[in-house]
Amino acid sequence: METSNNLLDFEIDKLTNSIENSLTGEIFDTEITKITRQDKRLIKKSDWVFDWHLELKVSFKEVFKLTTLNNFDIIQGLIALEDKKDHIFIHLLESAKFNKGKDKLYLGVAGNLVAFACKISFEKNYEGFVAFDSKTALIKHYERSLGAKYFRGQRMFIETRAAEQLVVKYFAS
């Protein structure tokens, strides 16, 4: 089952070393794990813009959840990845509803998930290369915040050096 490529429009609000409470500045350690059958119950369609249940049905995609170490049942963000055998492709990335907008609870969710994609790329010996399709209005934002490079059309990529910086920021410990 092929799904159409989505143009990503996640906001990199802050590159943190985990996720940070937007009101108190408190840092929360996180974990990113592959979604399991049991986790599906935690993904309520009304809480997300994208249909993550549909993403979970696509055989060539893997969906991962970002949670805090002290609460694995509250999903902070989700990412759908595909192994393209020479790089990792981000199909979708979304912060939880409560982590969006001016009243968001946590900063750093999207950055954490992108850094995770880069980490997987390094683990698979793809030198950190990650690609995604961006909304036109956000191309400059991703260049500034992630060090991503514009390729053509809507396609952007993160190369080794920028990927290393993201991985070190989020996964140094």
CB-hemisphere CA count at 13 Å for 145? 19
Q: How does pLDDT run across 41-77, given as a tens digit for each residue?
A: 899 988 899 999 999 999 999 999 999 998 988 999 9
**What is the pTM (predicted TM-score) of this model?**
0.90
Ordered by where they begin, the domains of the chain are: 19-171 (3.40.630.30)
Give exposure, 6-28, as e/b (b: 16+ Cβ within 10 Å): bebebbbbebbbbbbebeeeeeb
Residue 165: helix, strand or coil by DSSP? helix
User: How many whole angstroms separate alpha carbon 91 and alpha carbon 63?
Assistant: 10
Confidence at residue 1, expressed as pLDDT on a 0 to 100 scale: 33
Residues 6+ apart with CB under 8 A from 52: 43, 45, 63, 78, 80, 92, 94
Distance in Å from the first CA to the final CA of the chain:
38
